[in-house]
């Protein structure tokens, strides 16, 4: 089923309604849709490299709007939100998500928004934890914009041949960045005498 969905999204990238479809997929992926918009963004940039930045902007705008929907689901519809989180293997309960934000705050959004970890997890979890909405939006714009504009730049500059190499390098950089952040957070937690229940 996931493969058919992926092929359908790829087909949309080649249609005359590609930009509208890109907006819809980027919006939906931020709260419930399983296929990331990157799979549409890359072939669209390859087909029209002069429109790379427009496509990245569409992705960013739609993704942040969809993130607001995910936040609202978490904030106002907690039962629905927990059901969606359970489907993705995160059924630890409301306390788990509130604990994430007590410990790591905005870093949860910055790390998950930039990496391949499904962004829908952080949008719903942010609402569940009742995290600051303005900070959530600002962090989402920063991380989603960086991700989509980086994908557009890589594809525009290097084309399809370089994508596997670039993706491997980007993955290594992301893992390294996350490790540094986690080390810093753990160090500050212990240096500050942090403890608590979570």
- Six-digit token string for 97: 């998500």
Q: Which of 44-48, 101-105, 114-118 has the highest mean pLDDT?
A: 44-48
Residue 161 sits at the vertex; the CA angle it makes with 1 and 53, to the nearest 5 degrees, is: 80
More confident: 44 or 193: 44
More confident: 99 or 64: 64
Burial 109-131 (b: 16+ CB within 10 A, else e): bbbbbbbeebbbbbbbbbbbbeb
Report the Cα–Cα distance between both ends of the chain, in Å, rounded.
38
Report the domain count for the chain. Answer: 1
197 located within any domain = no
21 located within any domain = yes
pTM to 2 decimal places? 0.71
Alpha helices in 14-116 (DSSP H): 18-29, 38-47, 52-76, 78-87, 94-104, 107-114
196 located within any domain = no
88 located within any domain = yes
198 located within any domain = no
> The domain containing residue 49 runs over which residues?
2-191
79 located within any domain = yes
In tens, the pLDDT along 19-71 reads: 998 999 999 988 777 778 888 888 888 878 889 999 999 999 999 999 999 99
């Amino acid at each position: 089923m996931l493969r058919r969905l992926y092929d359908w999204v790829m087909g949309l990238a080649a249609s005359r309604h590609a930009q509208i479809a890109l907006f819809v997929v980027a919006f939906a992926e931020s709260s419930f849709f399983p296929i990331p918009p990157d799979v549409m963004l890359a072939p669209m940039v390859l087909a029209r490299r002069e429109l790379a930045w427009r496509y990245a902007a569409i992705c960013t705008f739609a993704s942040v709007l969809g993130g607001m929907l995910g936040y609202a689901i978490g904030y106002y519809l907690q039962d629905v939100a927990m059901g969606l989180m359970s489907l993705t293997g995160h059924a630890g309960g409301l306390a788990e998500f509130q604990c994430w934000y007590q410990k790591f705050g905005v870093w949860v959004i910055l790390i998950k928004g930039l990496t391949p970890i499904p962004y829908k997890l952080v949008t719903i979890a942010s609402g569940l934890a009742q995290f600051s909405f303005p900070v959530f939006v600002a962090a989402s714009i920063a991380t989603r914009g960086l991700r989509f504009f980086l994908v557009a730049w890589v594809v525009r500059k290097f084309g399809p041949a370089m994508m596997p190499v670039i993706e491997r390098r980007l993955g290594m950089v992301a893992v390294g960045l996350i490790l540094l952040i986690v080390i810093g957070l753990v160090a500050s937690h212990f240096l500050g005498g942090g403890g608590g229940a979570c």
